């Protein structure tokens, strides 16, 4: 088996769609009334409304989305300029890569990661 996608459930699509368009620096690949997805290298990142979801994530560390970048400092600057507040600025990890962390509007955690061979 291989991973083909992920869904972030939300009370309202509008709570997250614009945010992820900013993060991915692109419009959703496909958008419907209550769902949208971004297609990146055959991986679908869905955002969809769900009747049993309300409010913000109560445990933002339960699932953390990891996004890879070739230049974490550039992404950090771009997102900071867009008023994204980071919980953790880019730092070198013991395994040699760099990681920075922020949250989406519903408190879902996101890491941006630069692999050690890119540093």
Structure confidence by residue, pLDDT tens digits, 18-70? 999 999 999 999 999 999 999 999 999 999 999 999 999 999 889 999 999 99
Q: Is the pLDDT of residue 119 over 70?
A: no
Angle at CA 92, nearest 5°, toward 99 and 63?
25
**Does 85 lie in the same domain as 44?**
no
Give dist(CA 13, CA 50) in Å, integer: 9
Residue entry with tokens 């880019």 = 90
Residue 85 per-residue DSSP state: P
Domain assignment of residue 90, given as a range: 60-119
Binned at pLDDT 50, 70 and 90, residue 117 comes out as: confident
Whether 66 and 47 map to the same domain: the answer is no
Query: Within this chain, do residues 67 and 41 fall inside the same structural domain, yes or no?
Result: no
Same domain, residue pair 46 and 4: yes
> Do the strands 86-92 and 98-103 form a parallel or antiparallel pair, or are they unpaired?
antiparallel
């Amino acid at each position: 088996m291989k991973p083909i996608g992920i869904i972030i459930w939300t009370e309202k699509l509008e709570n997250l769609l614009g945010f992820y368009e900013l993060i991915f620096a692109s419009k959703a690949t496909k958008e419907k009334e209550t769902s949208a997805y971004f297609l990146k290298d055959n991986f679908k990142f869905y955002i969809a409304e769900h009747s049993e979801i309300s409010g913000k994530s109560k445990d933002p560390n339960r699932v953390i989305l990891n996004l890879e970048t070739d230049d974490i400092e550039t992404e950090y600057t771009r997102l900071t300029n867009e008023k994204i507040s980071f919980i953790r600025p880019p730092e070198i990890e013991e395994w040699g890569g760099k990681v920075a962390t922020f949250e989406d509007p519903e408190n879902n955690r996101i890491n941006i990661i630069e692999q050690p061979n890119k540093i």
